[in-house]
Amino acid sequence: MKNLMDVEFHCAIVLGAKVMADGSPSPALARRVAHAAALAQGGRVAHLLMSGGAVNHPTPEAQVMRNLAMAAGIAADRIVIEDRSRNTIGNARYCAPIIAAHGWTRLLLVTDTFHLPRARLIFARHGLTVALSGARPESVSAEWLMAHLREIPAMMKTLYRLAVEKP
């Protein structure tokens, strides 16, 4: 691994997604981790901060993500886990102290492309300035298009929550 001064980003914050009933990663989770692992292997990021708790499965998303990254060849000492969050606001809330403790300042946020605008807003509200890198599927599907449409009400809900909640 390169020295922290030699990489573009100290850390890629990788946002979780659904873990299937059998404990396997959803396509979104696998896609996000594969994208982040490629960035780490290419020397753009020093560490991966996997963020996601136990939402739909007893195993936290971050643990499944860690296993995927290690299977892709990322060393365990380059992976940090945040396993308490249950949504994007929680991702930002619980990642912020981890980032501060490590002294990371150059941050890259990895999630699906449709999720990037809302995620950036949430992370900014929690005092984190992030660059963005979006994961995409190999081919466009109806599910991918519907995910874009779901972001409209999700953004409205997020704006409301950020207005009434303290970071």
Give the residue numbers spanning the domain of 95.
Answer: 4-164
Say what the pTM is.
0.89
The pair of structure tokens assigned to 14 is: 């990788």
CATH assignment at residue 85: 3.40.50.620
- CB 67: neighbour CB atoms within 10 A? 16
Q: Domain count of the chain? A: 1
Q: pLDDT higher for 163 or 129? A: 129
Mean pLDDT of the chain, nearest integer: 91
Q: Please name the residue ranges forming H helices in 42-127.
A: 61-71, 88-102, 116-125
- Is residue 8 exposed (0-12), middle (13-18) or buried (19+ Cβ within 10 Å)? middle
| Model pLDDT for residues 101-124, shown as the tens digit of each residue | 999 999 999 999 999 999 999 999
What letter would DSSP give residue 73?
A: T
Segment 44-48 shows an average pLDDT of 97
Residue 24 has pLDDT above 70, yes or no: yes
Q: What percent of the chain has pLDDT over 90?
A: 75
Confidence label for 53 from pLDDT (cuts 50, 70 and 90): very high
